[in-house]
Amino acid sequence: IMSDWTECLKFGINLTKQTSEVRELLTNQLQVHLKSSQADLVTETDLRVETILKSAIRDKYPVHRFIGEESVAAGECVELTDSPTWIIDPIDGTANFVHRFPFVAISIAFTVNKQVKAPFGIVYSCVEDKLFYAQKGRGAFLNGEPLNASGQEDISRCVVVTEIGAERDDLALSTMTSNIFRLLRIPVHGVRALGTAAVDMCQVATGGADAYYHIGMHCWDIAASSIIVQEAGGVVMDTDGSPFDMMSRRVIAASSTAVANRISQVIQAFPCRRDDED
């Protein structure tokens, strides 16, 4: 009986490392298409990487299920069941990829029984060649070295990562900019955005950043990195202070509960349709 899913984790890590296609295609001609907005992009590479990952996993584990960014964009619904499920973002940071801004990642999380804290998560930051992974109860690692969040409890000493996001309506934009304004006014040490939610959130696991928050991303952007942050000693919650819900489109990840709570008091959310709403 494979109760801790270690074999699946090893398979996922090997598969991710073998997907050199993202790196190769960074230098190729790109076919860019628009999705939900002028700023929501998809390339042939997103579609290709998702297909490669899914077919390899399906060959090995025929009964497992998938939630994949591009399959959902193509009309599949997001449904988390009790079955073992791989949650895949083939390229997190597609706009970076298109512009050759050097942060793009493959994000793979694995869940079973709809667990809030999934058995494992893998984030491969392709250009940096950094492989982050964490397994429930067994710690978080970067290229094999253990990761520890900073433990910082004082918001005024924090570097906070967030994302501008792909939404361009007035309410989303004014909420996003005023959230950054209120944090800077505390003041925090700095606000950063790398352009990939998965890699942003992994910075909290490394201690390089002390917190991350985001409104509007999707479950595939953060499912893997939320496990990595928790296993590195950090906390995750909803932006309203309630328990983390990977389908809510809202997240705070922080080095301590004190910092997470403080951020939840300072920021506001704009309405987003849940990932699992039909």
Q: Say if CB 218 and CB 275 are below 8 A apart.
A: yes
Q: Was 167 annotated as part of a binding site?
A: no
User: Dihedral (C-alpha) 8, 55, 95, 124: value to the nearest 10 degrees?
Assistant: 20
Nearest distance, CB of residue 36 and ligand IPD, angstroms: 9
Q: Does 92 bind ligand IPD (CB under 6 A)?
A: yes
Q: Was 245 annotated as part of a binding site?
A: no
Non-local CB neighbours of 45 within 8 Å, separated by 6+ positions: 21, 22, 25, 30, 90, 91, 97
CA dist 10 and 212 (Å) reads 28
Q: Was 231 annotated as part of a binding site?
A: no
Per CB under 6 A, which of residues 31..70 are in contact with ligand IPD?
A: 69
Q: Does 93 bind ligand IPD (CB under 6 A)?
A: yes
User: Of the listed pieces 53-61, 90-98, 113-121, 183-191, which binds ligand IPD according to CB under 6 A?
Assistant: 90-98
Look up residue 244 and give its DSSP letter: P
Angular region, 75: left φ>0, alpha ψ -120 to 50, beta rest: left
Active site residue 91: yes
Enter the tokens of residue 114.
Answer: 């709809």
CA dist 196 and 93 (Å) reads 4
Nearer to ligand IPD, 246 or 256 (CB): 246
Nearest distance, CB of residue 128 and ligand IPD, angstroms: 15
User: Of the listed pieces 4-12, 180-188, 210-218, 251-259, which binds ligand IPD according to CB under 6 A?
Assistant: 210-218
Active site residue 51: no
Active site residue 129: no
Q: Does 231 bind ligand IPD (CB under 6 A)?
A: no
Phi, psi of 218 (to 5 degrees): -115, 170
Look up residue 155 and give its DSSP letter: G
Active site residue 92: yes
Binding residues for Mg(2+): 69, 89, 91-92, 221
Residues at the site binding ligand IPD, with contacts judged by CB under 6 A? 69, 89, 91-94, 163, 165-166, 195-197, 216-218, 221
Q: So which residues are the catalytic ones? A: 69, 89, 91-92, 94, 221
